[in-house]
Amino acid sequence: MALVANHAADRVEQLILLTERLAALVGEEADRIEARLPLPEGAEADEKSRLANAYRLELARVQQDPELIRGAPPPMLGRLKQRTVALNQALARHESALNAIKLVSEGLVQAMAEEIARQRSQSDNYGAGGARNAPAGPRPALLDRTA
């Protein structure tokens, strides 16, 4: 979805509003991640995706044709730059929160895998003929507080 603007100032104003709303949504999502709350679903998640896509498309259009915003008043362009910096800060915070979740999740998976391997290696034993007893099928893993 591309922005429909009559002139450069109109386009910059719409970009400012788009950037502000996207930064707010990303910031709210980072807050939820840090508070260990579920992420938004439904309309709110759809809005973030739609706005992010519109932002990406509009930046690509402006990059291809800088004349789209060249005639905008310098104070408006300054506001757009400020909002873009704020969006980038919100995105960096969001990325940091997601990386923390990833690190914890990977640690849990690693701990469970190690515990399963430890339990399975303890239960291996030898039979009367001196050979190792092979498991007779899948062995359940007991995960307790040690994992």
Angle formed by the axes of helices 8-34 and 74-123, nearest 10°: 30
Per-residue tens of pLDDT for the chain, all 147 residues = 667 777 889 999 999 999 999 999 999 999 999 998 988 888 888 999 999 999 999 999 999 999 999 989 999 999 999 999 999 999 999 999 999 989 988 988 888 888 877 776 665 566 677 676 666 556 666 656 655
- Looking at residue 87, its pLDDT comes to 96
Q: What is the pTM of this model?
A: 0.73
DSSP 37: P
Question: Which residue matches tokens 């919100």?
Answer: 90
The pair of three-digit structure tokens given for residue 50, joined into one six-digit string: 């739609």
Task: Give me the pLDDT at residue 48, please.
Answer: 92
53 vs 1, 37, 68, 76, 94, CA distance in Å?
Answer: 8, 25, 19, 23, 17
